[in-house]
Copies of this chain bind each other. A is one copy, B any other.
Amino acid sequence: MPSSSAPLTIDDINPKVINFEYAIRGEIVLRAQCIQQDLLTKPSSYPFDEIIYCNIGDPHSLGQKPITFFREVLALCDHPALLDKSETHSLFSSDAIARARHIVNNIPGGTGAYSHSQGIRACREEIAAGIEARDGYSANANDLYLLDGATPGVHMIMQLLLGSEKDGILCPIPQYPLYSASIAVHGGTMVPYYLDEANGWALEVTELRRQLKLARAEGIKVRALVVINPGNPTGQVLSEENQKDIIRFCKDEHLLLLADEVYQENVFAENKKFFSFKKVSRSMGYGEKDLSLVSFHSISKGYCGECGKRGGYMEVTGLDNDAKEQLYKIASVNLCSNISGQILMSLVMNPPKSGEESYKSFQQERDSILASLGRRAKRFAEALNKLEGVSCNEAEGALHLFPRLHLPERALKAASAIDMPADTFYVRKLLDATGIVMVPGSGFGQAPGTWHIRSTVLPPEKKLPDIISRLSTFHQRFMDEFRK
């Protein structure tokens, strides 16, 4: 019999929950939030005057402005009574008014009604048209699931696939820890494959084969392969040839390919280009019968950066009808994703066109954000590579850097003495000395014996010199302290 008057304790909690980690909003971030509160009342008690959050890809929190056209349309859809007022024309652009009217006319119950569980059909059709324009291959609104960000889509797919710990998912190491967390809470097994850091975080199919074989030998039924392209936290952009090899591997091994493509608009390297896995597979002549593929996209990244709006989609192809029905059932329990996020996702995939009033300002806003992100990524990576014992692959895309730290033996021992991973030890000291919040590499997984940190490239350009200088000074002192 349980004790009769204790409240719920850790003994009542699902052990699968206790066992997973999510470092991006973990201990270091909670510590940073406490310091931030402290700074309000005791500004002189720290050697810095603000916290710089480099832990999470949250552009607006670091000053990035929303795209004006998007916000105009959202406001009008929220309060459609405005559409009939003459004053509205002096406050909103004409194409935003026209677009909002079109959207509102296509949502019979308005933005306050549940949509179809896969999302408003009109929004899905606009997104399908956007995918077709991007890829040059057809896309179907029936294959789209509109989501509150990409995250719930990952959970839905894990729920769909993972019946027990005998069901495995191939995941990159390092990886975005949503995957490990979602696999853990849904009771499956993560089957890791290692990206090759020495080779620009390359994804080698030989490594996939090796890990698949090992997992199968242990009786794991591997259900799917996760590929993050552009990479998070690693920033590499896959070549088309590499993608073809991965697609053949999935087809041959009957694996669902889970393509996390949320950073598709964030490609900085001049010699690189984003290709969707759907486009590459169709270019190989692979259709619905050949490859099961889920592609995730989001409004939170790219140039849009609208994290707080929670919008995203997944495009699901190559499932048979019975399997699709089960996925629809999972979606239907959640009723639908938020309508503003759905609308915004459709705007991202169908932005203002040449000739429309907002086209020029939209282009300027978008291009200036993307160019600035590219400059920041390059500058930050260069600065990191100048630090003693730090090596950082070029950021080809996405919003993060994942430099390796070659730490002195005494630092490793000092961390080990307090039972802390060496990268956490470093990141914590960095926070306490500078107010800069980064995430230890151990939160993403890394080759045994190596240590990394993840930083976004999002701090505004005007602050970057100061941040780099604080980081460099801290790093030199850290190395000096532990050198002997």
Contact = CB atoms under 8 A, between A and B. Distances in A.
Interface of A: 2-10, 12-18, 20-22, 24-26, 33, 56, 58-62, 66, 68, 71-72, 74-76, 78-79, 81-82, 85, 87-88, 90-91, 108-117, 148-149, 151-152, 159-163, 167, 177-178, 181-182, 185, 187, 223, 251-254, 256, 288-292, 305-310, 318-320, 322-323, 326, 329-330, 332-341
Given A4-B254, A151-B334, 12 more contacts: A3-B254, A5-B289, A9-B320, A12-B323, A60-B110, A71-B78, A87-B87, A111-B309, A112-B306, A148-B337, A182-B333, A308-B339
Contact of A112 (B223, B290, B307, B329): B307
Q: Name the 4 nearest CB pairs between A and B, nearest first.
A: A61-B109, A75-B79, A25-B332, A60-B112
A88 B253 CA distance: 60
Given A14-B160, A58-B109, A112-B60, A320 B8 contact: yes
| Number of identical protomers | 2
A337 B306 CA distance: 13
Contact of A113 (B60, B91, B256): B60
Nearest to A8: B292
Nearest to A286: B5
13 contacts: A2-B253, A3-B254, A10-B323, A13-B163, A17-B329, A25-B335, A61-B108, A74-B78, A112-B305, A148-B310, A152-B334, A159-B185, A338-B341
B7 A309 contact: no
A218 to B, nearest CB: 16
A195 to B, nearest CB: 22
A9 B322 contact: yes
Contacts of A337: 148, 310
